Amino acid sequence: MKICVYPGSFDPVTNGHIDIIQRAARMFDKVIVAVVANPNKQPAFTLEDRAAFLKRVLSDMDNVEVDSFSGLLIDYMHVKKASVIIRGLRAVSDFEHEFQMALMNKKLDDNIETIFMMTSGQYSYLSSSMVKEVAGLGGCIKGLVPDEILPEVVRALRKKGE
């Protein structure tokens, strides 16, 4: 069974993330969407909320599992018996940082590969940070995050922006 892990903060999950997950699910037997507990970031949503959003949005995808972790991604990959890391790219500006992480992961375990997937063009400008900023300032984020979670995301981000 070919298992991949798509790690990220998903704070909040965007339609760009969903695009990558859906496409990866067509390529792999199992996709684990792993919400990262990153101590260097101050997320707008708790780890539990981010995982719950993903579970709700991805509930109809049989080969997709939502999980969370902290620590080294390579250690998590070993626990999950996964051999491929999926990373989404929006623009060339994402590549340098992602490339450095991929090389470090390769150094830590030469048997684990990283695949970069370009998001669909309609989401190339989209980031969780942009969603948080627009919603916090009262702007419309319809079409940027999944409809299933839109009201909760808007309510939480507008409250933080007040």
> Which percentage of the chain shows pLDDT scores above 70?
98
Whether this prediction's pTM lies above 0.85 is answered by yes
Give the pLDDT confidence of 129-145 residue by residue, as tens digits: 999 999 999 999 999 99
Q: Identify the three-state secondary structure at position 74.
A: helix
> Has residue 93 got a pLDDT over 80?
no
For the segment 102-127, what is each residue's pLDDT rounded down to a tens digit?
A: 999 999 999 999 999 998 989 988 89
How do residues 53-77 score in pLDDT, each as one tens digit? 999 999 999 999 999 999 999 999 9
CA atoms of 8 and 87, how far apart (whole Å) = 9
Tell me which residue of 162, 132, 159 sits closest to 12, measured CA to CA: 132
CA distances from 37 to 69, 74, 146 (A): 6, 15, 22
> CATH class for domain 3-123?
alpha beta
Catalytic residue among 23, 55, 56, 90: 90
Distance CA 130, CA 153 (A): 13
Residue pair 58/15 in contact (Cβ under 8 Å)? The answer is no
Annotated binding-site residue numbers for substrate: 9, 41, 73, 87
Establish whether 159 is a catalytic residue.
Answer: no
* Residues of each annotated binding site: 9-10, 17, 41, 73, 87-90, 98, 123-129
